[in-house]
Structure formats: C-alpha cells, structure tokens
Amino acid sequence: MRLLRGRAFPRWRQFRFLPRILTPGEKRLFQVSLLVALASFLWLSLGLASARRFQVPAVGGTYVEGMVGAPRLINPLFAALNEADADLSRLVYSGLLRYDREQRLVPDLAVGYEIGPDKKQYTFKLKEAVVWHDGEPFTAQDVVFTIEALQDSEVGSPLAVSFQGVKAEALDDRTVKFTLAEPFPGFLSVLTVGIIPEHTWSGIPRPQFRLAEVNLKPIGTGPFAFKRLIKDDTGFISRYELARFAGYYRQPPFLKEFIFQYYSDYDGDQGAIAALREQKINGLNFLPFEFRERVKNLQPVKLYTMQLPQYTALFLNQGRREVLSDNDVRRSLAIALDRGEILKATLANEGELINGPILSGFPGYDSTLSGPAYSVDEANALLDKKWRRVEAAVYREERQKELWKQRQSETGSSMGTSTPEASETGVATSTAALQAAADIDKELDAELSAAQLFYRRSQSGTLLTVDLVTADTPEYKQAAELIAGYWQDIGIKTKIKYVSPKDMPRAVLKDRAYDALLYRVIVGGDPDQYAFWHSSQADHPGLNLSRYNNPKVDELLLKLRQTDDAAEAAKFSADLQTQILHDVPAVFLYTPTYTYVLDESVRGFNVSRVAHPADRFANVIEWYNTTDGRWK
C-alpha cells in the first residue's frame, strides 16, 4: 500500500502483483474483461479499416468461356463467316472505329476524322504510339493494306462489297484518306473492321491468304494477344488461349488470360452445359433456349438476355432449280406455314414474329405490316394451277417399281422376277429377290412420310420436291421438322438435311447447295441491306442466300446507300420491303433473343445492347475477377 500512496493509478510494473492479490473470481472477471476489451479494439480497428478502404479491380485472373464450334480463320477479312472467328477477332484486332457499350460509334485506332462537303471523302487522324503485338509500330499504311486486301477478289472477303469503289491512301504515317465513288452514309460503320499488319501479310500471296498460318496465330493491336492453341487427335481446336497485352493503347485489360474452350455439342457428358455445371468454364457465349431451364437456377451463374438485330428465315434458292423461280410455288411455301406455331414450338414464344427483312428500330420499319397469312387451302389452290395431285399409295407403287429396276440394273440379273409384285404372289423363289423386295420396302419407309396423303407432279411428270437444309441444332431441327410437315400437307415432298453449324459456311453457303435454307442472319447495327438482297451478292462470298435478282430492288439498294436524308431512307426501305414481300425470295419467321452466360465471379460486364454477338466484348477491358484494396 505504501507504493500506491499518493498515486491515482499504479505503475505498469506493479501489475505483476495482481495475481497475488486477486481472488479466483476476480481473476476470471479480469480475464473476461481483458478479452472483451481486446475484441472491441479489433472490431473497432477493422471497422475503421473497412470504412477507409475499398476494393478496386486488379490485374490478374483467368476467364474461360465455353463455345460450341471452333475457330478457322481468325482474321477480320473472313471472320464474319464464323462466330468463333468473329469473337477472337474482336479481342485480337482493332478498327479505326468501334462500338461502345451503348452501340455508339467512337474512335478506336483513330483520334478523329473529317468528312468532306461532298460526303465522298473521309480523312482520319490515327493515334500515336500504337504497336502491334509483336512490337512493330502501327501506321496508316497498315490501314491501306487492309482495305486493298479485302477488296481483292483473289482474297474472297465477304466484306468486299462494303468497300466497292473506295480508294484508300496514306497521306503520312498518321493520316489516312478514303475517297468513295458515291456518298455512302453507312461508310463509318464498316470502318469498325479490324486492321491487319502489312509487315506480317505482305509476303503472303493474296490467293493463299486463307491458308496462311497467321490466321490461327494472329498478330493484332487489340487488348489480348495470341498465346497458344490446343488441338485434339482429330485436329479439332479444343482450346484457344489469349494473354493480356500490356502495350494496348487504351487501358490494358484487367484479366490476365482470356481462354475459349470449344465443344462439339451443348448436351452430353462432354458438352458445354456439363462443363458449365461442373465449373470448368466461367461463361457460355450463347445459351440456346432449350437448355435455359437447366442453367437459369445454376449457381453462381447469371444470364444476360439481349435483343439482337438478327432474324431466322427460310431462304428460297431461285438459282438452283427452275421450280423455285415460280412465284406461285414460293408463295404457297410461305402461306402453308403457321409461323406462330413454329415460334411457339421452337422457342416457346421467346422471340418475335417478323414480316420482312426490316427490323424494329431501322429506317422503313412498319409495325402494321402483315406477313403471309397461314392458309392451307390457298396454298393448295396456287399449286393446283400447274401441279396435279398423285395419291400417296400410287406414288409409293411407282417408286417401288423404279427402285426394283435399279436393283436389277445394279445386279445385272432379273432376280427371278420382273416386278416386285411378283415376289408377293410367290412367283419369285429367289432369296435374293425376296431380300431385295424387303430392302426396297424399308428404303421407301424411310424416304416417304406416312402422314403425307398425296404428292404433286407437273404436266411433264416432274415431282414437286424441296431439299431443305439447316444447321444440326435442336432449335433448327425442331423448326425444320415442322416446316417439312406443313409442306407435306400441300403435297410437296420435302427432304431435310442437317449440317454441323461449323461446316455450314464451307459445305452449304459457299455453293448454295440447297433449295430452301433455314438460317439465321445477323443484320448488325447498320441498316444497309445491300449484301443480303443485291443481285451482285448472289454468289459466295455474298450473302444473297436466295440468289434473288430484281432490278428494282437493286436500284433501291443503291439509292439507300447514297442518301443521307432520314425521310428518304425510310421511304426507300419501305419500298424495298414491299417489293421483297411481293417476290417472296424468303419466308421471314422470327427474331430471337440472345442469351449470354457469365459466372458471377466475373465482374465489370456492362453491356445491354449488341448488334453482333461479339459486341458483348465492348467493355472487355473492364472485366475482372481479382481485386485489391485501396485507402480512401
């Protein structure tokens, strides 16, 4: 007590005597109080730190996106023909202009531009200190080289049509000038095309551009650079890896790696949906409607649904067979379809019926326009003019005889009988003849639909048939089977062929190998319809999939390219649509929604409007899955 006399608080060294003077109960109370005080101090410290610190995106992390398909030509000159190529090209390459997250055109490789008073000259100033992924400087000559390459018919770029009559010249290393033959209001939108490096491509002969290795190991100026690709034993590219390009002229991306994992199908143990469920991938480039129920409640997955300026239609090839040059036949094919039922059955009404090629939001769109009204009676009446009906039983018997004759010709023997009916009466005792008759019946069962009550023949004896081709996907298979059923109801023999989506450009579109093509067209943000309907685009690499040829439509398409008057453009577009609907080069079905899948660990995605699926990458440099703390 003598040590405490005269002091309000004991010295620190005196605390060592506490255990001697405190009772056991007081000791426990003291320990508890000490723990409470320590916990309170820690809680206050953490609260203060939390109030004064915040999380910010940090460089690092990997994002893996799944996709059904595979890349072939990662080159802006060809990428429009393959969605996998288009996605990679968007990340690897840059254009003079780009679309931002609101679908507004803004400068990219360019600083700005000026348009001449005659609307035929465009002069662009380019950014300083832009380099290619290999470190070489980007110049105006790279722009000129790209434009001249895609204009070359030996290269075969589908973008050539957008640059017809355009002259590109480099005024200096940072200035490029375009001179157009005629004013083209949509010209700025086509300058979003990625620029390729002259120093890489100049040594490759133009006819060999599609075969060059650099198509799979590209060099661009975009936010991500090629790292490596992985192929399986069959040569299928199963994985494609991109790395963050630290020298990117805008803000370099936060993600350190951007990887695409490719699958041959959505379904199955090795499909894209299973990979998403097992968290082998962090996103899916597109989710078909039929798999939405299996994914929408999956954690930690988030679905983003957006409207795309695209549509699904039946393109009727007028250049392959004479029968489809008949407007009555094409019109009957259109009005025989219940388009509302097709939309309901394939997409559960998650889309909108369309009545023409001009979509909502584009000049000339008419919300009151009506499409072909479903009428089996009217379709039959149109065909009855030139095509007589043949009962199904009669036609089957005729086909049976044809096939029997073919078998005899192939074997070089009568097989013991001259007709297939003779086998049924017991005249034929040959085992070969009996087997041939059975095989023919089986072949006819596969060839002919039991639901079809009659067929149609022209006066010359030609059977009315349609070869329907589409992609081998659940949506299109469902739609194609419905379409074939509707056409069988009016006596048209319909043969369906399914083609792998990745093979469609090469196996189908290139040679226009179809009578009717069920296909989806992405219009994009540009209202220009030239590539889809002008007669000059009837052959590959043009996109006139119906091989449609109408001088009036050609004239309207040219006028639309030359006018910058909104009212005039709307009138021309309306006239264009009216003429196309009259001629029925296609049956317009519906415009679907586009659903993108992202793991919630991927943050920064902020896109609501897209013109192409690849537009989901409009703000990809802001995506992140790694954070860091900062003091306020």
> For residue 517, what are the β-bridge partners?
315, 469
Question: Which whole number is the average pLDDT over 370-395?
Answer: 92
- Do the Cβ atoms of 246 and 252 come closer than 8 Å? yes
pLDDT at 609: 79
**Tens-digit pLDDT profile for residues 161-176:** 889 899 999 999 999 9
Domain membership flag for residue 72: yes
**Tens-digit pLDDT profile for residues 125-167:** 999 999 999 999 999 999 999 999 999 999 999 898 889 899 9
- Do the Cβ atoms of 356 and 577 come closer than 8 Å? yes
pLDDT at 426: 46
- Asked if residue 478 and residue 366 are part of one domain, the reply reads yes
- Asked if residue 441 and residue 469 are part of one domain, the reply reads no
- Asked if residue 247 and residue 101 are part of one domain, the reply reads yes
Structural domain count of the chain: 4
- Asked if residue 435 and residue 316 are part of one domain, the reply reads no
- Asked if residue 232 and residue 157 are part of one domain, the reply reads yes
Domain membership flag for residue 290: no
Domain membership flag for residue 5: no
Question: Which whole number is the average pLDDT over 464-468?
Answer: 95
End-to-end Cα separation, the chain, in angstroms = 51
Domain membership flag for residue 3: no
- Asked if residue 610 and residue 555 are part of one domain, the reply reads no
The CA-atom distances, in angstroms, between 463 and each of 192, 218, 386, 460, 482 are 48, 50, 12, 9, 21
pLDDT at 428: 47
429: tokens are 């005792």
Q: Is the pLDDT of residue 77 over 60?
A: yes
pLDDT at 1: 47
Domain membership flag for residue 303: no
Domain membership flag for residue 466: yes
- Asked if residue 610 and residue 495 are part of one domain, the reply reads no
Question: Which whole number is the average pLDDT over 454-461?
Answer: 90
198's CB contacts (< 8 A; 6+ apart) are 141, 142, 145, 146
- Asked if residue 577 and residue 484 are part of one domain, the reply reads yes
Q: Residue 263 is part of a domain; what is its CATH number?
A: 3.40.190.10
Cα(134)–Cα(602) distance, rounded to whole angstroms?
Answer: 29
Domain membership flag for residue 324: yes
Domain range for 44? 12-55
- Asked if residue 135 and residue 124 are part of one domain, the reply reads yes
- Asked if residue 409 and residue 432 are part of one domain, the reply reads yes
Name the amino acid, one letter, at 384. Answer: D
Longest distance between any two alpha carbons in the chain, whole Å: 137
41: tokens are 């101090």
| 167 phi/psi in degrees, rounded to 5 | -110, 130
- Asked if residue 275 and residue 172 are part of one domain, the reply reads yes
- Asked if residue 559 and residue 442 are part of one domain, the reply reads no
The residue with tokens 């003291």 is: 30
Higher-confidence residue: 370 or 114?
Answer: 114
Q: Is the pLDDT of residue 205 over 90?
A: yes
**Tens-digit pLDDT profile for residues 412-452:** 655 555 555 554 544 445 677 777 777 887 877 777 888 88
> For residue 631, what are the β-bridge partners?
53
Cα(173)–Cα(352) distance, rounded to whole angstroms?
Answer: 48
pLDDT at 419: 53
Domain membership flag for residue 177: yes
